[in-house]
Amino acid sequence: MSNRKLHFDTLQIHAGLDKHDKTGARGLAIYPTAAYRFKTCDYAASLFELSEPGNIYTRLQNPTTSAYEERVAALYDGAGALAVSSGMSAILITLTGLASAGCNIVASPFLYGGTYNQFRHTLRRLGIEVRIAPEPGPEAIGALIDADTRAVFVESMGNPTCAVPDLEDIGRVAAARKVPFVVDNTFGACGYLCNPFEWGANIVVDSATKWINGHGTAMGGVIVDGGNFDWTGFPGIDCPSEGYHGLNLHEAFGRQAFIVKCRVDGLRDLGTCPSAFDSYLMALGLETLSLRVRHEVESTRRLAEHLRGHRAVKRVSYVGFPDHPGHDNAQKYFRFGASAVLNVELQGSLESTVRFVEALELLAHMTMIGDSISVVTHPASTTHKQLSEADLAKAGVTPTLLRISLGLEDADDIIADFEQAFQKAGLV
C-alpha cells in the first residue's frame, strides 16, 4: 500500500520503518556510528560523485536519520526531507542554499526573534540582504521582489503573535515571479495542522524541537522539499557544481534537486547534522503527534475562553476567536482553525507580569513551545530581547505580553494554576 493511501495518523507511525528488517524489530534502530565501511574502492568513488546512493559519513546521512526523514517527507507528501540539528540551522541551510552574496530574500514582518536576528545580522554578514515587508500581505511582499530575489519567506503562523498570512495569495505572487516560496511551518505541527504545500509553498522548514519531538528531549530541525518548483536556470542548482566536478544537480536529481543540494552542500560544509539518537527521539515523537496536538488545541481553546474577559487580563490574542486578525486565514489553512498557542496581555506592569510568571507552579517558564509540559514565555525579556523598540512594536511584543503553549496536562489544572498566580501577583 502506497503512503498516499494512508491517513496522517497512520503515516506518523508506519512511514520510514523497514518492515523487511531481518531482526524483526518493531522499533527504529539507532545507528551510533560516525562512518561506514565501503564495499570496494569503485563503490566509494560512486558515492562521492553522487552517482549511487549510500552512506558515507554521518555528517551527511545516517540510517536512523534517513528513516526519520522518510517519515517526515511522507507526512508532508514531499519529494524529500533533510534532518538537521536545529530549526535555525534548517533556515540557514535553506536560505544559503538558495541565495549568495548580492542576492536578497523577502520576508514577512511576523517572525520569531531568532529568525529576525539571523536575517538582520548573520545573513547580512554573508552578503545576503533580507527585506522585511512592512505588512504581511501579498502586495507588500510582492513589491519587494526583484531580479536578485532568491526566496520569499513567511511563517505559517507568526511567533509569538500567531498571525497567519494568506499563504495561497503569497504563493501565487512568488510563483508569478519564479521565486521559491519558503514557509516556516513549526506551528503547523509537521503538516498535521497546516500543510503549506497544499497552498503553493515550495520548501518547508520546521523546528523539530517543538511538536515533532513533543517532549523537550532533543534539538532538531527539518527541511522538506515539495518537489514542485521548476529549478530550470536557477543559480547554484541548474548549473555545473564546483564541488562535484561539474555535476548539474537539476539534471541529475530533477524534483529532488534542492533537497540534495541542502545535503551535499549544506550539511557537508556547515556540518549541522543531528545525532542518530536525536533522530530516533524525533521519529518516536512523531508516532503520537496527532494525538498530542488534538489535546493541546482543545486545552488552548478552553484556557482562552476562561481568560477572555478576566479582570486580570487586558487582552487575549487567540487565533480561534473571530476578533483575531489571523482568524479567517487560520480557518482556511489550519486544521481546527486554531493552534496550541495563545498570547495573553496582562493588566498591570512589567513588574506585576514578572510576579505572575514566577508564581506559576505547573507552567514552566521556558523559551519553548510544542512540549508535553505547558510553557509560559515572556517574549520581551527572552525570545525577542535583542530586538529594538521599533521592531518589538512591529512584532506586537509589549512588556506584559505572555506567550502560552499548552501541553498535555488537564486543562482544569492549568486554569487553576493561572488563578493562584493572579492572586499572588496582586492582579485580582
Q: Are 384 and 301 in a shared domain?
A: yes
Distance CA 98, CA 93 (A): 9
Domain end point (choices 286, 313, 331): 286
List Cβ neighbours of 280 (8 Å cut-off, separation of 6 or more).
28, 30, 64, 68
Domain end point (choices 250, 267, 286): 286
Identify the pLDDT of residue 384. 65
Distance CA 314, CA 310 (A): 8
Q: Are 79 and 226 in a shared domain?
A: yes
| Domain of 255, in residue numbers | 3-286
Q: Are 102 and 202 in a shared domain?
A: yes
Q: Are 260 and 368 in a shared domain?
A: no
Distance CA 15, CA 70 (A): 7
- Taking only the tens of pLDDT, the chain with its 428 residues reads 455 689 999 999 999 998 888 888 988 999 999 999 999 999 999 999 999 999 999 999 999 999 999 999 999 999 999 999 999 999 999 999 999 999 999 999 999 889 999 999 999 999 999 999 999 999 999 999 999 999 999 999 998 788 999 999 999 999 999 999 999 999 999 999 999 999 999 999 999 999 999 999 999 999 999 999 999 999 999 999 988 989 999 999 999 999 999 999 999 999 999 999 999 999 999 999 999 999 999 999 999 999 999 999 999 999 999 999 999 999 999 999 999 999 999 999 989 999 999 999 999 999 899 999 999 998 877 766 666 777 766 666 788 999 999 999 999 999 999 999 999 999 99
CATH code of the domain covering residue 309: 3.90.1150.10
- Cβ neighbours, 10 Å, residue 385: 13
Identify the pLDDT of residue 4. 60
What CA–CA distances, in Å, run from 173 to 23, 114, 130? 50, 26, 18
Q: Are 123 and 248 in a shared domain?
A: yes
Distance CA 368, CA 345 (A): 18
Q: Are 120 and 139 in a shared domain?
A: yes
Indicate the residue type of 363: L
Domain end point (choices 236, 255, 286): 286
Q: Are 144 and 167 in a shared domain?
A: yes
Distance CA 64, CA 161 (A): 35
CATH code of the domain covering residue 14: 3.40.640.10
Identify the pLDDT of residue 1. 46
- Rounded (5°) CA angle 350-351-357: 90
Q: Are 246 and 270 in a shared domain?
A: yes
Q: 29 with 6: CB under 8 angstroms?
A: no
Residue located via cell numbers 496550541: 340
Q: Are 266 and 394 in a shared domain?
A: no
Q: What crossing angle do the helices spanning 411-425 and 289-307 adopt, rounded to 10°?
A: 40
Distance CA 159, CA 402 (A): 12
Distance CA 85, CA 179 (A): 26
Overall number of domains in the chain: 2
Q: Are 245 and 313 in a shared domain?
A: no
Q: Are 299 and 196 in a shared domain?
A: no
Q: What crossing angle do the helices spanning 63-76 and 276-286 adopt, rounded to 10°?
A: 30
Identify the pLDDT of residue 160. 76
